Amino acid sequence: NPFAGLVSHLRASWLSGKTRPMEYRTAQLEALGHFLDDKKQEILEATASDLGKAPFEAELSEIFLCKNELHETLNNLSHWMKDEQVDRTLAMQLDSAFIHKEPYGVVLIIAPWNYPIHLFLVPLIGAIAAGNCVIVKPSEVSKNTERLVAEALPGYLDKDCFAVVTGGVPETTRLLENKFDYIFFTGSPPVGRIVMTAAAKHLTPVTLELGGKNPCYVSNTCDVTNVARRVAWGRFFNAGQTCIAPDYLLCTIEMQEKLLPALHKAIDDFYGPNPRESPDFGRIVSDKQFQRVQRLLGSGRVAIGGQTDEAERYIAPTVLADVQPSDPIMQEEIFGPILPIIIIANMDEAINFINSRERPLAVYVFSSDDKVVNQVLERTSSGGFCGNDTLMHFTLTSLPFGGVGNSGLGMHHGKFSFDTFSHHRGCLKRRMGWEHLNAPRYPPYSQQKFGVIRATSKVTRKNDCTLL
C-alpha cells in the first residue's frame, strides 16, 4: 500500500509520546494560526478560483470562524486536558476515580470541496488539541485550494506527526485500507457509507458529517421581509453550496404569495438586478456539479431567476414555485443556488412532511409565535436547529455541530471537537494497603458479607435512606 509507510511513521511518532504534552499541542495549534495569517491572501485567491467565493464570504467562513475555533481551543485546552474527578461510593472514599482524556492515535481527516479550508482545519484543531497525529486529505475537486494546502501547510506543522495526502477516489480508496485510530469524514451519505465500511474492517471509530435536505418552515405569523432576507442569505451564501443551507421552504399558499416578492427584493438588494455581475455571488465548483444542479431547474415553475451560463458555471439565485414532493429536486440535496417552495396547509402538515423524510442536518423554522418554533423543535429530529434564522447556529463554538441518522453521526466544534478526538478512559487508583476493607467481597460468601457490600457500595435514589 502506497500510504503504509506514512501511516506507520506517524504511528511511531505517536507512540513516542511526542504529541501528548500540552506545550507541544499548543505550539502546533499556534502554527495553524500563523498559517491562516500568512496565507490569508492565497486562501482568498484559491477559493475565488475554485468557487468564485466573494472575499467577504471566504474570509468569514474559511478564516474568521477557524480563528474563533482556534482561540476557543487555546483558551481552554489546559482545562479540557485535566483529569475529571467523579463521584465514589462509600467503599471507594479512600480511592481516586477519574476520567483521563487520551488521544486515539493516528487520525484521518477527509475534507470536502465546498469550504475547503474550514472543513479540514476545524477538525484538525480538535485532533491536535487532543494529542493525535493526523493525515489530512483535502478534496481534489477544489484543486487550487488543495494545491495550496498540500504545498503550504506542512511547512507549519511537525512533519513527523502531521501530513497532507492528495489525490482522487483511487488514492483515497488505498488510503482507507490502512488502519487508522479515528476517521473524520465530511461529504455525502453514499461516500460516508464507503468510509464507514472501510473503517469497520479495523473497528475504527468514525465521525461522519454528511448532508441532507434541510427543511425551512415559514409560518403565517412572521415578518415576511426579515424571513426573506435571512432565508436568501442562507440559501445563496457560497452559491448554495453549503451542507446546512435551507434546502426547501414549507409554507401555505398565502405565505408563498407574500414571500415571492420579498425574496425577489432580497435577492435584488443583495446581488443587484443581474447577480451574474455581482462580486458577492459565487459559482458552481465544477462542470459535473453545474450540470447536476442545472437539471434540477426543470422541477416546478421558475418564479425568480433561472438563468444559467455553462462557460462561467453560473446559476442565478433561483426560487421555484409549484414544486411537488415527487419532483427530481426533492429527491436529492440541491447543493446549489435553487430554493424550491412546497405548499402545505398548516404546521402539523409541515412537521409530518419533515418527519416522513430522512433526518436532516438542520431544521429551520420562522414564526413570531414562540409556541410554533418550540413545536417544530420538539416534534422533529435533526442534527441542529435554528429558529428565526439560517446558518447562524453553526457559528457558535459552544454548540455541537453534527448530523443524526442519514445526515451523519458524531459531532465537533469547540470542546466537542476535543472530546470527539479523545478516548475518555475510566480510571480507578486504589491503595495497596487496607486489605481488610476488601474482605466482604472474597469467598467464602455469606449474606452478612453481601449486606456490608450493599451498605457501602449502593447508589440510592434521592430521598431514600439505607438502614445499616
Which residues are catalytically annotated?
209, 243
Q: Distance (Å, rounded) from C-alpha 384 to C-alpha 400?
A: 8
Residue 210 in grid coordinates: 454528511
Contacts 24+ apart (CB under 8 A), 62-65: 62/115, 62/116, 62/117, 62/118, 63/36, 63/117, 65/118, 65/122, 65/395
The answer to whether residues 421 and 410 touch, using CB atoms and an 8 Å cutoff, is no
Q: Which of 420, 422, 417 is nearest to 66 (CA)?
A: 417
Q: Which of 153, 124, 198, 175 is nearest to 6 (CA)?
A: 175
Q: How many residues does the chain have?
A: 468
What are φ and ψ of residue 224, in 5° steps? -60, -40
Q: Which of 386, 385, 432 is nearest to 404 (CA)?
A: 385
**Strand ordering across the sheet containing 422-429:** 84-85, 96-103, 422-429
The answer to whether residues 315 and 286 touch, using CB atoms and an 8 Å cutoff, is no
The answer to whether residues 394 and 244 touch, using CB atoms and an 8 Å cutoff, is yes
Residues 6 or more apart whose CB falls under 8 angstroms from that of 45 comprise 144
E strand or H helix at 252: none
Strand partners, 85: 98
Give the 3-state secondary structure of residue 226.
helix
Helix ranges restricted to H, 219-252: 224-236
Residue 347 in grid coordinates: 404546521
